[in-house]
Amino acid sequence: MTEPKRPRMASTLDQLKSFTTVVADTGDFEAIGQYKPTDATTNPSLILAAAGMPQYRALIEQAVQYGKSKGKTIDEQVTFAMDKIFVIFGLEILKIVPGRVSTEVDARLSFDLDGQLAKAQSLIALYEEEGISKERILIKLSSTWEGIQAAKILESKFGIHCNLTLLFSFAQAVACAEAGVTLISPFVGRILDWYKKSTGTESYEPHDDPGVKSVTQIYNYYKKFGYKTVVMGASFRNTGEILALAGCDLLTIGPKLLENLQHSDEQVTRHLNPDTGKSLRQRNKCSSTDSHVWAFVTCKVGKNLT
């Protein structure tokens, strides 16, 4: 008599998806379909890495020709081509994911309010020319004071959803929430990198990881005071950090770590929960005043990593 097959245990990735929206962090759109993420995030370095792959050469050439047709000078042609390639990759990603893709504004504009506003609107226009609604796009802006104010205007005046990145501090997170941005991306791994270098501590247990603790603090604060802004943990160094944040609104994860999670059957326990955040003892909101600008300017982690 044939022994009945035991039901296959859900992968760690599938278990995580029951608590958290999983987002693919890559420009290599051919690599993400197997993981079935809801959304995807990109940045210039990820697009650069993907652009060097032979299978994407035709897309790069398409962007170059677009730049040549639009720009009068070499600098203008390069700028148009760069914007176009970000959007081309975004379009391809949106054929795979059912949700949204994040497209980043040039980080050199991080302290230029007007520049960020103009660039964000031009990126959205490029998507709309291709029939993609702005509802499927998150514009990534740096979490500088100027970036946060740009996001506030884009959200309230133009209905453009923003993802605030390069976020290393609680002060930045509070300012983003008060500005009413759609989503923030606090960096877990890069905070860990700074602590390892600064303290000489070679390793941390996941729940003692400074980046994990930072995201947990932000998440709980947002839930305590009912902010609409959602938290997407980013910049992971290992799966331990990811699993320690199970229950976070979203987590954006690179292909290698997605693969590790998919091939693991480690049991996942939910660690972040809206009800836990609401039960915090803190009674008063923090205020996004000039003191928070100073807190950001003096943030050692941010100064060393941006």
Active site residues: 140
Residue bearing tokens 């008063």 = 284
The residue count for the chain = 306
Nearest to 47 by CA among 184, 136, 140: 140
Residues 139 and 123: beta-carbon distance below 8 Å: yes
Burial of 259 by CB count in 10 Å (0-12 exposed, 13-18 middle, 19+ buried)?
middle
Amino acid, res. 143: S
**Exposure string for 100-126, b = 16+ CB within 10 A, e = fewer:** bbbbbbbbebbebbebbbebbeebbeb
Give Cβ neighbours of residue 2 (< 8 Å, ≥ 6 apart): none
Burial of 189 by CB count in 10 Å (0-12 exposed, 13-18 middle, 19+ buried)?
middle
Residues 180 and 288: beta-carbon distance below 8 Å: no
Task: Determine the Cα–Cα distance for residues 167 and 91; give it in Å rounded to an integer.
Answer: 26
List the beta strands (DSSP E) in the chain: 21-25, 39-41, 101-104, 137-142, 162-167, 183-186, 230-233, 250-253
Burial of 217 by CB count in 10 Å (0-12 exposed, 13-18 middle, 19+ buried)?
middle
